[in-house]
């Protein structure tokens, strides 16, 4: 079982928490996270337009919110897709990182994504614990909603 240990380097420039991504949580050939090497990453992640954004790279920005174009069209498209499919906002994450700082953001992520049943990790893409199957979110159409 992977424990929910989040390092600052596991928060992507777009505000995604790599630790809760299915690519990271896979048992075999798992992705090391957006800021790590490209060895085992899917091609779509290697070619990520946000991670490879000229503004981000040329200005040594750590997060997209540091850019004067934030939120840019690409960021809005990604955020809309994640809000629609997973009830998850990367723009909201970035606003919270800017407002409260990365340490508080990580503390809140640990509370939000740890399984209350076994302590495993809730996948943002699946809505359930990858260890015990405990459901945290369920589909309502194409959107996930918290279980009350």
pTM for this structure?
0.84
pLDDT of residue 148: 47
Q: What is the pLDDT along the chain (148 residues), one digit of tens a residue?
A: 556 678 898 999 999 999 999 888 888 878 888 888 777 777 777 788 888 899 988 999 999 999 999 999 999 999 999 998 888 899 999 999 999 999 999 999 998 898 989 989 999 988 888 888 888 776 554 555 555 4
pLDDT of residue 106: 94
| Cβ atoms within 10 Å, residue 16 | 22
d(CA 19, CA 6): 7
pLDDT of residue 30: 81
pLDDT of residue 51: 86
pLDDT of residue 16: 94
CB 82 within 8 A of CB 143: no
pLDDT of residue 78: 92
């Amino acid at each position: 079982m992977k424990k929910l240990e989040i390092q600052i380097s596991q928060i992507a420039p777009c505000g995604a928490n790599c630790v809760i991504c299915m690519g990271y949580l896979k048992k075999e050939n798992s992705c090391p996270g957006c800021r790590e090497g490209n060895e085992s990453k899917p091609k779509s992640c290697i070619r990520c337009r946000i991670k490879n954004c000229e503004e981000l790279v040329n200005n040594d920005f750590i997060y997209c919110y540091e850019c004067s174009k934030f939120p840019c069209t690409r960021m809005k498209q990604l955020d809309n897709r994640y809000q629609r499919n997973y009830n998850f906002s990367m723009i909201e994450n970035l606003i919270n990182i800017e407002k409260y700082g990365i340490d508080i953001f990580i503390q809140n992520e640990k509370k939000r994504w740890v399984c209350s049943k076994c302590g495993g990790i809730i996948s943002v893409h699946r809505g359930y614990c990858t260890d015990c199957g405990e459901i945290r979110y369920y589909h309502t159409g194409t959107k996930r909603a918290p279980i009350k």
